[in-house]
Amino acid sequence: MTSVLSRISGSAPTFSVEFFPPRDAVEEGVLWRSIRELEPFDPAYMSITYGAGGSNRDGTIRSIARVAQETTLVPMGHLTAVNHSVAELRNVIGHFAAVGVRNILALRGDPPGDVHGEWIPHPEGLTYAYELVELVRSLGDFCVGVSAFPYGHPRSPDLETDTKHLVRKFQAGADFAIAQLFHEADDFLRLRDRLAAAGVDAPVLPGIMPLTTPRTLHKTIELSGAPAPEWLLRRLEPLADDKQAFRAAGLDVSAELCERLLAEGVPNLHFYTFNRSKATRELITRLGLVPVRA
């Protein structure tokens, strides 16, 4: 089994890509075209998200199994505790192992329907991600990742408490973390500093969404949980009605962010792709993260 940790621990920085499970045949075609287009660029790993609130979970397992069996990519499956008993979680983890997926991103997930609604654990399930980390760890030789939030998780009362709970996930056995979207390199670097101050030296990977459209900008603002800085809005918003100009300027912003992160020594850039490959390919080429054989 090739672990994510081993893939991101080399001397040169790497990149990885995240997809969501396709909902129909058309989306399946789009996903597989992107996977095949990215394969020669040798991403450190590729991950497939776990359907929120029970949607399309079989799709996650089917797609990640196919990646494990039909491609050269190192697969990672996301898994959440939403609406699952511990017995069901064991079962899904067993499925991952059976198809050759030994890297798991262990998440609590959000309440189905309304992400801001009350979190109600399954009566025979888990309440926090650290418990899922422990469960995965107890079931075999897995490399386990967790999520981290540069501005703090929206449900955390303050950054200190947020850091304490993040540290708990590493104490439970997490090997690395992937950060939620953020706007400026310093926002991510402060998260890394908080972890270092708490004695955690495991890798934390920045999550990057290439800013190709106004939609990706709004999605970044929404998911990050923090308003975009004035300079960013001034640079991109005037271009909202000019697709090409927005895309060019947005990719400039994304590339500048990535360059700063690489200069700060991040081991890997994790790209949220929306199941497309073009923007990621353009960025990694521009950043010089392309292997010789691509």
Q: Are 139 and 102 in contact (CB under 8 A)?
A: no
Nearer to ligand FAD, 50 or 271 (CB): 50
The Cα 111–Cα 54 span in angstroms is 10
In the complex, minimum distance from the CB of residue 205 to ligand FAD, in angstroms, rounded to a whole number: 8
In the complex, minimum distance from the CB of residue 242 to ligand FAD, in angstroms, rounded to a whole number: 31
Could you tell me which stretch among 36-44, 66-74, 91-99, 161-169 binds ligand FAD (CB under 6 A)?
161-169
The Cα 123–Cα 114 span in angstroms is 19
Q: Which of 294, 231, 221, 281 is nearest to 251 (CA)?
A: 281
Q: Which of 273, 277, 217 is nearest to 247 (CA)?
A: 217
Nearer to ligand FAD, 246 or 283 (CB): 283
Q: Which tokens belong to 44?
A: 């450190």
Site for ligand FAD contains 192 (CB under 6 A) = no
In the complex, minimum distance from the CB of residue 249 to ligand FAD, in angstroms, rounded to a whole number: 26
Nearer to ligand FAD, 54 or 288 (CB): 54
Select the residue interacting with ligand FAD from 165, 219, 235, 260 (CB under 6 A): 165
Residue type, 49: T
Residues 13-72 that bind ligand FAD (CB under 6 A): 49-50, 52
Q: Which DSSP state fits 39?
A: G
Site for ligand FAD contains 153 (CB under 6 A) = yes
Nearer to ligand FAD, 169 or 247 (CB): 169
Select the residue interacting with ligand FAD from 6, 56, 83, 156 (CB under 6 A): 156
Q: Which tokens belong to 60?
A: 């996650």
With contacts defined by CB under 6 A, how many residues of the chain interact with ligand FAD? 24
Go through 128-164 and write b for each residue having 16 or more CB atoms within 10 A of its CB, e for each that does not: bbbbbbbbbbeeeebbbbbbbbbbbbeebeebeebbe
Residues 76-135 that bind ligand FAD (CB under 6 A): 78, 80, 105, 107-110, 128-130
Site for ligand FAD contains 206 (CB under 6 A) = no
Nearer to ligand FAD, 102 or 247 (CB): 102
Nearer to ligand FAD, 131 or 246 (CB): 131
Q: Are 134 and 173 in contact (CB under 8 A)?
A: yes
Active site residue 18: yes
Q: Are 19 and 47 in contact (CB under 8 A)?
A: yes
Q: Which of 241, 283, 234 is nearest to 262 (CA)?
A: 283
To 5 degrees, how large is the angle CA 28–CA 105–CA 20? 20
Residues 234-293 that bind ligand FAD (CB under 6 A): none
Spatial CB neighbours of 195, under 8 Å, sequence gap ≥ 6: 148, 163, 166, 167, 170, 177, 202, 204
Positions touching ligand FAD (CB under 6 A) are 49-50, 52, 78, 80, 105, 107-110, 128-130, 147, 153, 155-156, 162, 165, 168-169, 178, 180, 207
| Active site amino acids | 18
